[in-house]
Copies of this chain bind each other. A is one copy, B any other.
Amino acid sequence: MESYRKELWFEASRRRELINITSYIDQCLKESSIKEGLVLVNAMHITASVFINDDESGLHSDFEKWLEKLAPEKPYSQYQHNGFEDNADAHLKRTIMGREVVVAVTEGKLDLGPWEQVFYGEFDGMRKKRVLIKIIGE
Task: Kindly supply a per-residue 1/0 record for chain A positions 12-23, scoring 1 wherever the CB is within 8 Å of any chain B CB and 0 otherwise.
Answer: 000000000000
Which secondary structure dominates chain A's binding surface?
A: mixed
- Give residues 117-136 of A contacting B (CB, 8 Å): 130, 132, 134, 136
> How many residues of chain A are within 8 Å of chain B by beta carbon?
57
Shortest C-beta distance, A42 to chain B (Å), equals 8
A80:B104 contact, CB within 8 angstroms: no
Q: Copies per complex?
A: 3
Alpha-carbon distance between A43 and B114 when the two chains are bound, in angstroms? 11
A59:B91 contact, CB within 8 angstroms: yes
Alpha-carbon distance between A99 and B125 when the two chains are bound, in angstroms? 25
Q: Does any Cβ of B come within 8 Å of A40's Cβ?
A: yes
Shortest C-beta distance, A129 to chain B (Å), equals 9
A96:B99 contact, CB within 8 angstroms: no
